[in-house]
Amino acid sequence: MKKELLIATALVSTLGATSVAQAVTANWSGSWKAGVEFDSPENGVETNNVIDLSNFSVSFSETTDNGTTISSSFGIIDEGASDIGDDDNAIKLTFTDGSAVELLNAGNALGTHDISVPSGAGEMGVAGTTTNRAPTDLDFMAGSTALGVEWHSASDFLASGLQMSVSYSTDSGAAKGATSRVENSWGLGATYVTEAGDTAVTVGAGFAGSDIANTTTQAAGGQEGFTVGVSAVTGDLTVAVGYADGDSFDPIDTAGGNTANMDINGSVLRAGVSYVTGDITLAVGGTQGDATDVNYGTAATTDDAKDTLSGSVTYVVADGVSAVLGYVTEDHQDDGASDDTGGSSWYVGATMSF
């Protein structure tokens, strides 16, 4: 209870510190995508899918009398089958010294500082199987709950080019159930930016941990790990690589065929290159993910794996209008055996954004 009261007190006291204008400043942006995806699974029927995606985002902010900026945002996504509202954005307070605090839905500081690695653009993809839990994202072990706070330092914190973030989230007090869930979490991340000749170099790293709650008699799972990466930009050329290692979990989901809480121990390596020449952007990226997934309290014996290679060509037709040609190929391994759910996929489409 003390943890929840501290978060609530911080929210109320900060927002009520000074008067705020009656109307905030709002900005909006969005995009519309349309194209065709051509899927070729290793073992199955080739299919063609029409892709029709749109999103609309609104950001708003206002500055108090003492110079603190209060901001947040929301988004609406239309994926054809259903409209999904993005309502998990934090309330962000940015202070005059450049530091900031996010309150509620703050996320995990590890994810704030993982390196962005180029990969093929487009809406192509290979479905795979739900029992293959090899990770493909650098923040797969970074858990959080809605009752969270994240602090961001100003730029040049402690050293020139250094910025850091720290996050913490706590539970809602809900009763534990058989299905495992994140009870509380912490995260620490940092980004360091420097120059090497004509090259801008960015190094990012983070650590995260979470406590998992459930009522089963099996040994509880965990969620913790680290990520590190580096990006180098020389003119129009960007090269980046990132690595992550840690533990995560998959809760009971009987509808999806998962009848037990699963421990996942995984690692992922991502590398990519992008190059801009005139109105054309070329991108190539690869991902290698490995994991063991077992029921809580069971020793791991077999591995899952996903090896992915993607590429794309994006051409700017006019301001805000781009044509995209993308390709991806994947090799899968599930529970130590070759998995025929891999394959390849092409995407041809256009994006209009504002």
What's the DSSP call for residue 15? H
Phi–psi pair at 45, nearest 5 degrees: -95, 135
Provide the pairing of β-strand 262-277 with 181-196: unpaired
pLDDT tens profile 212-223: 888 876 666 778
Please give the residue that has the higher pLDDT: either 298 or 163.
163
pLDDT computed for residue 4 by the predictor = 46
Cα 73 from chain centre: 17
Instruction: Kindly report the length of the chain.
Output: 354
Low-confidence winner among 164-168, 238-242, 334-338, 349-353 (lowest mean pLDDT): 334-338
H/E segment holding residue 8 = helix 2-15
pLDDT band at 191 (very low <50, low <70, confident <90, very high): very high
* pTM, entire model: 0.85
Distances (CA, A) of 317 to 139, 283, 320, 323, 351: 34, 18, 8, 7, 10
How many angstroms separate the CA atoms of 180 and 247, rounded?
A: 14
Pull the structure tokens for residue 332. Answer: 């899968």
Mean pLDDT across 71-88: 70
Q: Which residues pair with 346 in a beta bridge?
A: 38, 327
Distances (CA, A) of 103 to 7, 63, 82, 238: 8, 17, 29, 33
Query: Residues 134, 341: contact at Cβ < 8 Å?
Result: no
Mean pLDDT across 95-116: 93
Pull the structure tokens for residue 307. Answer: 């090896």
**Single-letter code of the amino acid located at 53:** L
What's the DSSP call for residue 217? S
Number of CB atoms found within 10 A of residue 25's CB = 12
Instruction: Please list, in sequence order, all residues whose beta carbon lies within 8 angstroms of the beta carbon of residue 223, skipping any fewer than 6 positions away.
Output: 141, 143, 182, 185, 208, 209, 210, 212, 246, 247, 248, 249
Cα 92 from chain centre: 19
Q: What percent of the chain has pLDDT over 70?
A: 89
3-class SS shares of the chain: helix, strand, coil, % to 5: 5, 60, 35
How many angstroms separate the CA atoms of 216 and 297, rounded?
A: 11
Please give the residue that has the higher pLDDT: either 4 or 316.
316
What's the DSSP call for residue 253? B
Cα 21 from chain centre: 34
Its sign, for the CA torsion 74, 78, 82, 83, is: positive
Please give the residue that has the higher pLDDT: either 14 or 87.
87
The C-alpha R_g of the chain, in whole angstroms, comes to 22
pLDDT above 60: residue 1: no
In the chain the domains, ranked by start, together with CATH numbers, are 105-353 (2.40.160)
